[in-house]
Amino acid sequence: MDRNALDSVLREHFEELVKHVHKERKAYATGQNPSRAQLWCAVAVLAKEISDLRLKVKSMEKHITVKSNISLKRGLRKL
């Protein structure tokens, strides 16, 4: 694959993923099929990022819900 052929925005994300996957080189370099293992490592990195984002969104939703409930209760008290 020619990295330079990628769209510049996509290339930035691709290069960042390559950096993350390279950190796990010991995990995929010694197997029977390192290139396939490298792809699975990339999938794992992306899955972790998605999981982390889901946790952040849930935390933000809880915070927003709590703030909304407090604001609603305050508004109802004024009535």
Annotate 19-57 with DSSP letters as a single string: HHHHTTHHHHHTSS-HHHHHHHHHHHHHHHHHHHHHHHH
Mean pLDDT across 39-54: 96
pTM to 2 decimal places: 0.74
Map residue 12 onto helix, strand or coil: helix
Indicate the pLDDT class of residue 48, thresholds 50, 70 and 90: very high
Higher pLDDT, 53 or 63: 53
